[in-house]
Structure 1
Amino acid sequence: MRILKNIWKNETVCCIAFFLAVFSAFLVTPDGEYLAYPDYRTIALLFCLMIIVAGFQSKGVFARMGHFLLRRARSIRALSAVMVLLCFLSSMVITNDVTLITFVPFTMLVFRMIGETDRLVKLVVLETIAANLGSMATPIGNPQNLYLYSISGLTLGEFALAVLPYAGLSLVLLMAAVIAGRDEPLMDLEIREKKKKTGKEIIKEIFPFLMLLILCLLVVFHVLNYIPVLLLVIVVIGVVNKRLYLEVDYFLLLTFLFFFIFVGNMKRIPQISELLMELVAGRELMTGVLASQVISNVPAAILLSGFSKDFSALLTGVNLGGLGTLIASLASLISYKIFTRDYPESRGRFLLIFTFWNLLFLLILSGEALLLS
Structure 2
Amino acid sequence: MRKFAIWLKNLFKKDIMLSVSLAVAIISLFITPPSKELLHDINWRTLATLFMLLSVLEGFKSENIFEPLLKRTKNLSSMKTLTVFFVYCVFFSSMFVTNDVSLIIFVPLTIIMFRAGGQEKYILPVLTFENIAAIRGSLLTPFGSPQNLFLYAKSGISTPEFMKMMAPLWIFSAFLLYIFISILYRKNSKEKIEIKEEIVSEPETAKKTHHKRRIMYQVLFVIVVASIVTRTHYYPVVLGLVFITLLIGDRKILVKTDYVLLLTFLCFFTFSSSICRHPAISGFLERSVAGHEYIWSILLSQVISNVPASIVLYPFSTNLRALLYGLDSAGLCSLIGSLASVINLRLYMREYPGKVFAFIKTFTWISLAFFAVVVLPQLALIKYFL
TM-score (norm 2): 0.78
| Separation of aligned partners in 2, 1:150 and 1:212 | 25
Aligned partner of 2:190 in structure 1 is: 184
How many angstroms does 1:19 deviate by? 4.3
- Are 1:110 and 2:81 matched, yes or no? no
Q: Which moved more, 1:48-57 or 1:251-260?
A: 251-260
| Separation of aligned partners in 2, 1:266 and 1:22 | 12
Q: In the TM superposition, what whole-angstrom CA distance separates every residue of 1:106-144 from its partner, at most 9, and x where no partner exists?
A: 434433444444444433332332233334344554443
- Are 1:41 and 2:45 matched, yes or no? yes
Q: Aligned match of 1:325 in 334, 337, 345?
A: 334
Q: In the TM superposition, what whole-angstrom CA distance separates every residue of 1:332-361 from its partner, at most 9, and x where no partner exists?
A: 45656737975968956x655533321221
- Are 1:168 and 2:193 matched, yes or no? no
2:324 alignment partner, SS class: helix
Q: In the TM superposition, what whole-angstrom CA distance separates every residue of 1:317-337 from its partner, at most 9, and x where no partner exists?
A: 222110023443354456567
- Are 1:58 and 2:66 matched, yes or no? no
How many angstroms does 1:307 deviate by? 3.7
Report if aligned partners of 2:57, 2:105 keep a CA contact under 8 Å in 1.
no
Aligned partner of 2:224 in structure 1 is: 216
| Separation of aligned partners in 1, 2:130 and 2:76 | 17
How many angstroms does 1:78 deviate by? 1.3
| Separation of aligned partners in 2, 1:206 and 1:139 | 30
Aligned partner of 1:194 in structure 2 is: 201
Q: How does 1:234-273 map to 2 (within 5 A)?
A: 234-273=243-282
- Are 1:123 and 2:110 matched, yes or no? no
Identify if the C-alpha distance between structure 1 residues 255 and 2 changes in structure 2 by more than 3 Å, giving closer, same or farther: same
Report if aligned partners of 2:306, 2:327 keep a CA contact under 8 Å in 1.
yes
| Separation of aligned partners in 1, 2:33 and 2:342 | 35
2:42 alignment partner, SS class: coil
Report if aligned partners of 1:162, 1:315 keep a CA contact under 8 Å in 2.
no
Identify if the C-alpha distance between structure 1 residues 58 and 280 changes in structure 2 by more than 3 Å, giving closer, same or farther: farther
Aligned partner of 2:79 in structure 1 is: 76
Matching residue's letter, 1:367? L
How many angstroms does 1:242 deviate by? 1.4
Matched length: 370
Report if aligned partners of 2:83, 2:126 keep a CA contact under 8 Å in 1.
yes
Q: How does 1:219-368 map to 2 (within 5 A)?
A: 219-220=227-228, 221-308=230-317, 310-332=319-341, 338=348, 342=352, 353-368=362-377
Matching residue's letter, 1:195? E
| Separation of aligned partners in 2, 1:105 and 1:61 | 12
| Separation of aligned partners in 1, 2:355 and 2:243 | 43
Q: In the TM superposition, what whole-angstrom CA distance separates every residue of 1:148-183 from its partner, at most 9, and x where no partner exists?
A: 445554433344245443233222111222234222
Aligned partner of 1:132 in structure 2 is: 135
Aligned partner of 1:2 in structure 2 is: 6
Matching residue's letter, 1:320? S
- Structure 1, unaligned stretches of length 5 or more? none
Matching residue's letter, 2:82? L
How many angstroms does 1:273 deviate by? 0.5
Residue identity over aligned pairs, in percent, reads 34
| Separation of aligned partners in 2, 1:242 and 1:98 | 21
| Separation of aligned partners in 2, 1:163 and 1:76 | 31
Matching residue's letter, 2:224? C
Matching residue's letter, 1:184? K
How many angstroms does 1:275 deviate by? 0.5
Identify if the C-alpha distance between structure 1 residues 297 and 11 changes in structure 2 by more than 3 Å, giving closer, same or farther: farther
Matching residue's letter, 1:2? I
Identify if the C-alpha distance between structure 1 residues 85 and 56 changes in structure 2 by more than 3 Å, giving closer, same or farther: same
Q: In the TM superposition, what whole-angstrom CA distance separates every residue of 1:198-250 from its partner, at most 9, and x where no partner exists?
A: xx989864443344344434433234522222222222222221122234333
Identify if the C-alpha distance between structure 1 residues 71 and 13 changes in structure 2 by more than 3 Å, giving closer, same or farther: closer
Matching residue's letter, 1:355? T
| Separation of aligned partners in 2, 1:370 and 1:34 | 34
Identify if the C-alpha distance between structure 1 residues 351 and 64 changes in structure 2 by more than 3 Å, giving closer, same or farther: same
TM-score (norm 1): 0.80
